[in-house]
Amino acid sequence: MTVQTIAVLGAGHGGCAAAADLGARGYSVRLHARRDESLAPLREQGGIRAKGVQEGLFPIDLLTTDVAAAVDGADLVMLAVPSVAHRHYAEALAPILHPGIPVFVNPGHTGGGLHFVHELRRAGYADEIRTGETVTLTYICRKTGPAEVDIFSWTKKLKFSGFPGKYAGEMFALIKPLYPEIVPVSSVLETGLTNINAVFHVPGMVMNAGWIEDTGGDFLFYREGITPAVGRVTKAVDDERLAVATALGVPSASFLENFHQAGLTTRAAMESGDISRACVESEPNKAIKSPPSLDHRYMHEDVGYGLVPFAAFGDLAGVDTPTIDGLIHVASSMMGLDFARDGLTLERMGLAGIGAKDLARFVEQGA
Amino acid sequence: MSAALPEGPVKRIAIFGAGGGGTSAAAHLSTLGFEIRLYSQDQSALAPLQEIGGINYDAPFGKGFAPIPVITADAAEAMDGAELVMVVSPAHLHEKWIRAAAAHLTEEQTLFVSPGHTLMLIPHVLRDCGIENPVYCETATLPYLCRRTGPVDCRISRVSDFMVFGGFPGKETERLHGIVSSVYPAVAAFSNVLETVFPYGNAIHHPPAFLANAGRVEATGGDFRHYYDGITPSVGRLIDTVDAERLLVAKALGAKTMPFVELFWTMGYTTDAARDAGIAYEAFHQSEPDKWIPAPPQLEHRYFLEDVPFGHVIYSELGRLAGVPTPTIDHIIHLASVALGRDLRADALTLDRMGLGGVSKDAFLDLLENGFR
């Protein structure tokens, strides 16, 4: 089977980039958003205007707020929404999906596919399901207006996995033509535990919370915000993450190795072992500003759908994660939220009652 | 300076510590007519004072020179004939000063530590020095907002008009209050030295505020106003969470204490409107005295180095003793340790260090009230 028709769910940065890029490359795209206000500007303009790796106005075959209409006849569903919306989409898709329509969770962050499938089952879907996921979005992009998107590049050497693992090869073959940069890895545990955004975004936010709120984020997040102390906390988070991965037998590289491999810092900075230096000296990230407030995906997504599942995997593996737990707790207190309760717990990933020794089987078989 | 000695039970006072607090106390109490003997182990701090025989002060009660008849590195000389021995030092030096004083302390002398808030550390050290039934008293806070501005100069910007005061054993508090209040009328008698631990405000708000501004401190060298700019609504919420845990620990141990905002208002640091709002963000944002205070230039600073090991850690330890969880406080201790690259619990004021390892809550409360029997 090859993919020709794609239902892209979500009309944010990722959804708009995918609709423009895939449309430009000859795929038939249906774009779904929950609110028609997100789609009306596209309808009026006759498509999405893109800059960057694709330039021009790209018409979209269907713009709809009806999930069933978007999915009907599609070869692939691409879920390009924030993690917090996965449950909503699982519930909407449960009555519509069938084994012939695989789902690509773009991105899955940590545990995205596990969570989506768990919610789908809870919503009554009982058939076979095939999902694939990348750890981050397949694009470096930004939506610059209601119907405009800048696509700076495709994300390079992007780790890809599938759940259940037994179909991962099939899913990889299906998605590879769409995104030639994807690289297959062992399982969703490996993509999930390689979520390095969660590793440094949260220390950067929590330890600069006062600065962010006082100035509306008027400083450079990497160059100024990741100081030696923030680097030390980031390193502790990274060490805990690696200890969890090791205990679960999941291959994983350090933050610095990932950061270097992604082309974000020099070999010398990586070899120094100094995360602060690697961030301060990151050439591609040097102009990136801080988020304007704590009410941002660096907290909502990277705590709730990053650190919380890291800690959950730590529980499952019997590995202590005191720094990760501390950041989850302090971030919750600052924001008046309860990330540990509302984020991706073992239960929400469908892993309640599954021991460390059964984890590999569950991830492979999906049951 | 008046020629006649004061009427009350105290005439001569030995002051231990020649930093900002010690020199300010020496100047202030000297102007009130007490005979002051100033002691320090730091000869470089003493030498300039010895040379001019006193200290220059700039204070709300005037500006001038306060003669100090005895300025010495000899504890016995400083304490000889003093009715009151007053220790004025950061908490991490308490043990050192108490050991220096213990050998010369007589039963007639009153030992007064200001600020104290180190719970059972001082009685434990005194016992270790051979005093079987130690008696002492303390305040939660320093009597002054002050600084030593030069080798022979101190500046006092405010003399406190309210200090929580407690004695050990608690049954001695009233008697000890009678003595100390003749020197500092602003001391308010609380039950015991547990009730002087909880109102130590810096321990409540410095660690969370410093953690939440750690990046900015390092990136700018502290080029912002610590309270006014640094304590934003989210940082204030973190402080409020810490305070709620502190209040639960105090309650479980039967210690009366005020919510932080109430305390801050009582000490005259914020507005009625902020008190009514009841949240730390408003308390600091509306604090005129604190508004211009700059952030420290680096993280190696007492906001972490003193207020975590002698503040947050005590709350955490008391929580453990009382069976009350203190998750936010515990997480802040851990994150501050990781941020600094060393374990702030290692040299902290733990139950073990105060001789309370394995002591039950009831035995602890009995000890506080009745002392060693």
Closest listed residue to residue A33, CA positions, set A4, A6, A58, A70: A70
How far is A218 from chain B, CA to nearest CA, in Å? 11
How sure is the predictor about B2, in pLDDT bands with cuts at 50, 70 and 90?
Answer: very low
The predicted pLDDT at position A367 comes to 86
Mean pLDDT value of segment A288-307: 96
pLDDT tens-digit profile of A8-19? 999 999 999 999
What residues of A are annotated to the active site? 201, 302
Q: Does B334 touch chain A (CB under 8 A)?
A: yes
The predicted pLDDT at position A225 comes to 97
The residues, ordered by sequence, that sit 6+ positions from A181 with a Cβ below 8 Å of its Cβ are A138, A154, A155, A156, A157, A158
pLDDT of A182 higher than 90: yes
pLDDT of B3 higher than 70: no
The predicted pLDDT at position A363 comes to 97
pLDDT tens-digit profile of B164-221? 999 999 999 999 999 999 999 999 999 999 999 999 889 999 999 999 999 999 999 9
Beta carbons of B234 and A323 less than 8 Å apart: no
Of A211, A229, A334, Cβ closest to residue B238: A334
How far is B219 from chain A, CA to nearest CA, in Å? 6
The predicted pLDDT at position A330 comes to 98
The predicted pLDDT at position B145 comes to 87
Rg (CA), chain A: 20
pLDDT tens-digit profile of B78-118? 999 999 999 999 898 999 999 999 999 999 999 999 999 99
Mean pLDDT value of segment B230-258: 97
Mean pLDDT over all residues of chain B? 95
The predicted pLDDT at position A263 comes to 83
How sure is the predictor about B147, in pLDDT bands with cuts at 50, 70 and 90?
Answer: confident
Mean pLDDT value of segment A187-210: 96
Residues 214-273 of B with CB under 8 A from A: 214-216, 218-219, 224, 229-235, 237-238, 241
How far is B3 from chain A, CA to nearest CA, in Å? 53
pLDDT tens-digit profile of A43-52? 999 999 999 9
- Strand pairing report for B70-72 and B62-67: unpaired
The predicted pLDDT at position B1 comes to 44
Mean pLDDT value of segment A248-253: 94
Using CB atoms within 10 A of its CB, is residue B107 exposed (0-12), middle (13-18) or buried (19+)? exposed
Per-residue H/E/C for chain A:
CCCCEEEEECCCHHHHHHHHHHHHCCCEEEEECCCHHHHHHHHHHCCEEEEECCCEEECCCEEECCHHHHHCCCCEEEECCCHHHHHHHHHHHCCCCCCCCCEEECCCCCCHHHHHHHHHHHCCCCCCCCEEEECCCCEEEEEEECCEEEEEEECCCEEEEEECHHHHHHHHHHHCCCCCCEEECCCHHHHHCCCHHHHHHHHHHHCCHHHHHHHCCCCECCCCCCCHHHHHHHHHHHHHHHHHHHHCCCCCCCHHHHHHHCCCCCHHHHHHCCHHHHHHCCCCCCCCECCCCCCCHHHHHHHHHHHHHHHHHHHHHCCCCHHHHHHHHHHHHHHCCCHHHHCCCCCCCCCCCCCHHHHHHHHHHCC
Biggest alpha carbon distance in chain A? 55
How sure is the predictor about A283, in pLDDT bands with cuts at 50, 70 and 90?
Answer: confident
Mean pLDDT over all residues of chain A? 96
Mean pLDDT value of segment A288-313: 96
- Contact (CB, 8 A) for B173 and B349: no
Using CB atoms within 10 A of its CB, is residue B174 exposed (0-12), middle (13-18) or buried (19+)? exposed
Of A213, A232, A322, Cβ closest to residue B334: A322
- Chain A residues contacting B via beta carbons under 8 Å: 204, 206-211, 213-214, 219, 224-230, 232-233, 236, 294, 322-323, 325-327, 329-330, 333-336
How far is B322 from chain A, CA to nearest CA, in Å? 22
The ipTM assigned to this model is 0.92
- Chain A residues touching B327 at Cβ < 8 A: 329
Of B215, B237, B327, Cβ closest to residue A207: B215
Q: Does B279 touch chain A (CB under 8 A)?
A: no
